[in-house]
Structure 1
Amino acid sequence: MNVLKNMEIIFVAAASLAVATSYATASTPVIEVPAAAVATVAAAPAKMPVVVVAVKRLTAAEKAALI
């Protein structure tokens, strides 16, 4: 029983060490965008697509026919 308890402690320690190491070594990528590209994107008007769903409701008879 003592061996299993020690293995659990070793696993938790290894997992926490792996998580801490992954956070410590991870870096945020730096993306440099030319100023001309930023001005072009800002000047273009963005049109948002709109979806319209128009459906009639089923009557009680139609619902009963589906079952």
Structure 2
Amino acid sequence: MTWDVAAIGLGPVGATLTSLLSLLGLRTVVLDGDAKVNPSPRAVAVDDEATGSSDRARLS
């Protein structure tokens, strides 16, 4: 299998990037060192801009 974009890390940036690119029709893959998603929240605060970005990337 081939991909158009490979992102290293599935943090907020990697998740947003790959989600938005896949909505544009690109084939994406994410490589992350952790096998599981961390269930604990780690953000101290989330502002309106970050919330809007998550909505546009369909992450929320």
TM-score by length of 1: 0.22
TM-score by length of 2: 0.25
Which structure features the higher share of strand residues?
Answer: 2
Which structure features the higher share of helix residues?
Answer: 1
Which protein has the larger Cα radius of gyration, Structure 1 or Structure 2? 1
Relative contact order higher in (CA < 8 Å, ≥ 6 apart): 2
